[in-house]
Amino acid sequence: MPYITLRDGAQFYYKDWNPPESTGTGTVLFSHGWPLSADAWEKQMFFLAAHGYRVIAHDRRGHGRSDQTWDKNDVDNWADDLSELIEKLDLKELVLVGHSTGGAEVARYCTRHTTARVAKIVFISSVVPQVVQSSVSPDGVPVAVFDGFREAMLKDRAQFFLDVPRGPFFGFNRPGAKASEGLVESWFTVGMQGGLKAVYETSRSWEVDYSEDLKALEIPALVIQGDDDQIVPIKTGALAAIKLLKKGTLKVYPGGAHGIMDTQPEDINQDLLGFLKA
C-alpha cells in the first residue's frame, strides 16, 4: 500500500488511482470527513477515474491506515500533511475536494501553504466557515452539542458510531427514509479504524472560524450542501460560505443529508464532473 513518511516520521496512507486509459485531463484530491478515511470517496473516485481523471485520497493522520500519532491532530497540521503529500507526488493543476471536516483541511492548506498547485476547490457539506454557534455564526451548533459528542465517544464510542450513521449523518432518522444497513456498517467499520484520541480531537476543528481562509481564496470554488443536513446547518455552512468566496458557485440539494456522497452519489458525481470540465 502507498505511504509517505511525514516530517515527524508518521506513516501517511493514500490511494492513487491513475488508470492506464487516463486522458491526462487533471488530478482530483479528496479529503474525507470525520471520522472516516479515503474509502469514503470510492463512488466519486471510481466515477471520475472512469472519465479520465487521476484521483487521490488520503487517510488523515490518526484515521484509517495512517499512523495514530498522539499529537498534531489539528487543522494546521492536517494542512501541513496535505502539503507534504502534494509536494512529494509533485501534483499540479489540482482540484481539491473536501467533505465536512475535509473542507476545513483543504481551505487551510490553500491559505497556510499555496494555491499555486490548485486550480479549483470543492466544499461538500463542509464545516466552513464556522459550524459552532458564535457571534459570527449565530445559526451554528451550540458547543454543548459537541461536548455531548465528545462525552459519548469517551463513554461508548462503538455505540455512538452506530447511532450517528443510523440517524443524522445519512438522514435515516427522517420519516419515510429507507435506511441502508450496509452504509451504516461501513461507516461504523471505517470510523472505528481511527484512533480515539484523533477522532476526539478532530471535533475541536469544528469550533474554528475559517472565514478568513475563505475570503483569501482567489480560485473557483463549488459549494454543495443538502438543505436537510442535520450535522452542519446549511445556514452556517454553504449559505455562509458562498458569501465569503470571491469565485463561488452554490448547489443546494433539496432534502439532502450530510452524507450526500453516498445518499446521492449520481448527483454529486455529475456536479463534480461538470465543475471539472468548466
Q: What string of DSSP letters covers 47-59?
A: HHHHTT-EEEEEP
Query: For the chain, how many structural domains are there in total?
Result: 1
pTM of the model: 0.97
Q: Which of 100, 126, 137, 205 is catalytic?
A: 100
Q: What is the pLDDT of residues 233-258, one digit of tens each?
A: 999 999 999 999 999 999 999 999 99
The boundaries of the domain holding residue 52 are 3-277
With a pLDDT cut of 90, the percent of the chain lying above it is 96
Residue of 126, 258, 262, 271 with catalytic role: 258
Alpha helices, DSSP H, located in the chain: 42-50, 75-88, 101-112, 143-166, 181-193, 196-202, 211-216, 238-244, 260-263, 265-277
Residue 35: all three cell numbers together: 471520522
pLDDT of residue 136: 84
Question: Is the torsion defined by CA of 224, 201, 144, 193 positive or negative?
Answer: positive
The confidence score (pLDDT) of residue 20 equals: 73
Q: Which residues contact 160 (CB under 8 A, 6 or more apart)?
A: 149, 152, 153
Q: Which residue has the higher pLDDT, 263 or 1?
A: 263
83 is a catalytic site residue: no
**Partners of 123 in the beta sheet?**
98, 223
- The 10s digit of each residue's pLDDT in 66-125 is 999 999 999 999 999 999 999 999 999 999 999 999 999 999 999 999 999 999 999 999
CATH code for the domain in which residue 166 is found: 3.40.50.1820
Asked if residue 23 has pLDDT above 60, the reply is: no
Tell me the Cα Rg of the chain: 17
Annotated catalytic residue 100: yes
pLDDT value at position 51?
92
Mean pLDDT over the full length of the chain:
96
From 80, 81, 213, 229, active-site residue: 229
